[in-house]
Amino acid sequence: MSIKKSLLTLSLSVALTATAQAETFNFSDQAKKADAIVVFQAGDTPSAGLAQLNKQSNDQLMKSLSVAKFKGDSKQVVEVLAPAGIDADRVIVVGLGDSTELNAGAVNKIGASLSAKLSKTDAQDIQIFTKGISDNQSNASFAAELAHGISLRAYKFDKYLSKKKPAEKNYSLRVNQPQQAKTTYKQLEAVEAGVFLARDLTSEVPTEMNPVHFAAAAKELKKLGVKVKVLKPRQIKKLGMGALHAVGRGSAEGSRLVVAHWEGNNDTPIALVGKGITFDSGGYNVKTGKSIARMKSDMAGAAAVLGTVKALALQEADVNVVAVMAMAANMVSETSVAPGDVVETAEGLSVEILNTDAEGRLVVADGMWYARDKYKPEIMVDVATLTGSKVRALGDRYTAIFSEDDNLVSQLTVSGKAVDEKVWRLPLGYKDKLKSPIADLTNIGSGGPGATTAATFLQQFAGDTKWVHLDIAGNALISADKGVNPAGGTGHGVRLLSHWIMNNK
Ligand code: BES
Ligand code: MN
Ligand code: ZN
């Protein structure tokens, strides 16, 4: 027992070594000496900074750009060795595309392309000439969103690599309103910290990120004034959450219910419920094929809601948001739930478990009950890597959104577009496919669209609370760099939820 315990503490300390943000950003209206200078061009319109540098170089810069077939398209990035007359090693020219289409998400992606390019150079001090450029809001917003995109893409989960990430870069952005840019970036930096937490948790290997490790990571947020509560298997069972309890029954540590509450005001809270399967083997319906190796990411919904709470707490946001995370490892052992078992949810509905691989809806169902019963939220949003069916329908870029509430769907659609974490609505329904001869529900639909039958299962646990379900299967872990996300855990959902909460309060 004591050996077991010390092993646990040992692995705990490994798991909590977070990947800290490395890049630094400084907003100023003064020029600063740097080894790389960054300027822009929207379509065929060079920015004032580019025009100025070109003049200094006696037109050499424009000549180089035309040789490189630079058209100023969005995210096009060209690196030029600085011609005579320019006091730096290199000039990086970044395309903005059609400047009328520059929203925050687009600027983030441009920042990400720039970040990817700079990561291949040894440039340390980078001066970015953003003066005069607007993202259709302001120059300050452009600079801040650019920094946000750079930072999001520069993140690296490198704790298991013998060769660590290269030294951090220092960015100095020349802006018209440095104070305003700083203020905006400060908020975005809080969101980044939330995204990075979610990425760290998602990328962490399954043995180092079980429900106990996750609960410990949540407790770290107490430092920020977040109220954190962790229920153990015995308490989970006592409260009647038989479905959450059952899914964790086959694992060494059992299930946990983790609550992280940012009570920034006294309004009726918004509840965010996260699926937290720290590893989904499928259980007795064991997963075959290579997809099983991605199932450390099956707690990404829980990671996203915890990351969102962190982002809100860091901003000391004037909102009341409670995250409820239903944690379990879905493992195979002699104590595991068996296909055919019936479990009792806290809502009072019994469920016949016809497939142990449809475990997400079981844990989320009890999480939704807990959120409603204890916090009486105005709105409840659950986030879950719920179905392969969602991935087949929408792939890994769109999130599937399900709700009876058109207004909430449209709010989240707007936020999704703004931060480029887009949602696409799929229908609820096919409830007749969830009939069981011996229980109130089965956990898999007998036919019917899988993402919809899973969502409809969850709907049975929403009561009359306004409810939205986000199926983020496929969005959570990517195998190649894309946009603001380096390969690995994406932290998908943190930016969407943060934007939605901050813009609809
Ligand atoms: N965690 C999976 C869903 C998933 C698939 C997430 C791919 C990320 C990428 C979920 O628990 C699952 O196994 N769902 C089954 C349900 C089926 C047995 C009804 C699925 O979708 O295949
Ligand atoms: Mn599963
Ligand atoms: Zn799962």
pLDDT tens track for 128-159: 999 999 999 999 999 999 999 999 999 999 99
Q: Are residues 142 and 245 in the same domain?
A: no
- 386 C-alpha vs ligand 1 centroid, how far in Å? 6
Q: Quick one: how many helices (H) and strands (E) in the chain?
A: 15, 20
Q: Are residues 210 and 166 in the same domain?
A: no
Residue predicted with more confidence, 354 or 290:
354
On whether residue 500 sits in a domain, the answer given is no
CA distance 240 to 244: 9
Is the Cβ atom of 471 under 6 angstroms away from ligand 1? Answer: no
- 290 C-alpha vs ligand 2 centroid, how far in Å? 14
pLDDT tens for 202-249 read 999 999 999 999 999 999 999 999 999 999 999 999 999 999 999 999
Q: Are residues 182 and 214 in the same domain?
A: no
Given a cut of 50, is residue 13 above it in pLDDT? no
Mean pLDDT of all residues in 305-321? 98
pLDDT tens for 362-383 read 999 999 999 999 999 999 999 9
Q: Are residues 183 and 212 in the same domain?
A: no
On whether residue 218 sits in a domain, the answer given is yes
Domain termination site, one of 148, 164, 189: 189
Q: Are residues 417 and 375 in the same domain?
A: yes
pLDDT tens for 421-475 read 999 999 999 999 999 999 999 999 999 999 999 999 999 999 999 999 999 999 9
On whether residue 346 sits in a domain, the answer given is no
pTM check: above 0.75: yes
- Nearest ligand 1 atom to alpha carbon 297: 8
Is the Cβ atom of 388 under 6 angstroms away from ligand 1? Answer: yes
| DSSP reduced 3-state for 269 | coil
Mean pLDDT of all residues in 45-58? 96
On whether residue 502 sits in a domain, the answer given is no
Contacts of 439 (CB under 8 A, 6+ apart): 342, 350, 351, 352
Catalytic residue chosen out of the listed positions 229, 287, 417, 505: 287
Q: Are residues 42 and 104 in the same domain?
A: yes
Sign of CA dihedral 474, 478, 479, 483: positive
On whether residue 165 sits in a domain, the answer given is yes
Q: Are residues 230 and 185 in the same domain?
A: no
Domain termination site, one of 144, 164, 189: 189
On whether residue 51 sits in a domain, the answer given is yes
Q: Are residues 397 and 250 in the same domain?
A: yes
For the chain, how are helix, strand and coil distributed in percent, rounded to 5? 40, 20, 40
Confidence of residue 1 (pLDDT cuts 50, 70, 90): very low
Q: Are residues 158 and 264 in the same domain?
A: no
Is the Cβ atom of 444 under 6 angstroms away from ligand 1? Answer: yes
Q: Are residues 89 and 146 in the same domain?
A: yes
Q: Of all protein residues, whose CA lies closest to atom 17 belonging to ligand 1? A: 358
- 291 C-alpha vs ligand 2 centroid, how far in Å? 11
Give the CATH number for residue 293: 3.40.630.10
Name the residue type at position 94.
Answer: V
Is the Cβ atom of 357 under 6 angstroms away from ligand 1? Answer: yes
Among 279, 387, 396, name the best residue to mutate to test ligand 1's pocket (greatest count of ligand atoms within 8 A of Cβ).
387
294 in catalytic set: no
CA distance 46 to 139: 16
Give the CATH number for residue 48: 3.40.220.10
Q: Are residues 185 and 209 in the same domain?
A: no
- Domain total of the chain: 2
CA distance 102 to 104: 7
Q: Of all protein residues, whose CA lies closest to atom 5 belonging to ligand 1? A: 388
Task: Give the structural domain span for 65.
Answer: 24-189
- 284 C-alpha vs ligand 1 centroid, how far in Å? 14
- 277 C-alpha vs ligand 2 centroid, how far in Å? 9
Q: Are residues 255 and 368 in the same domain?
A: yes
361 in catalytic set: yes
Continuous segment of H or E residues that includes residue 222: none
Q: Residue 329: which of 229, 220, 218, 212 has the closest Cα?
A: 212
Mean pLDDT of all residues in 7-16? 43
168: DSSP letter? P
Q: What is the mean pLDDT of the chain?
A: 95
Question: For residue 49, what are its two tokens?
Answer: 């900074």
On whether residue 196 sits in a domain, the answer given is no
On whether residue 353 sits in a domain, the answer given is no
Is the Cβ atom of 339 under 6 angstroms away from ligand 1? Answer: no
Among 275, 357, 383, 458, name the best residue to mutate to test ligand 1's pocket (greatest count of ligand atoms within 8 A of Cβ).
357
Catalytic residue chosen out of the listed positions 361, 390, 422, 433: 361
- 244 C-alpha vs ligand 3 centroid, how far in Å? 13
Among 386, 452, 456, 472, name the best residue to mutate to test ligand 1's pocket (greatest count of ligand atoms within 8 A of Cβ).
386
CA distances, 215 to each of 302, 358, 372, 384 (Å): 11, 23, 21, 18
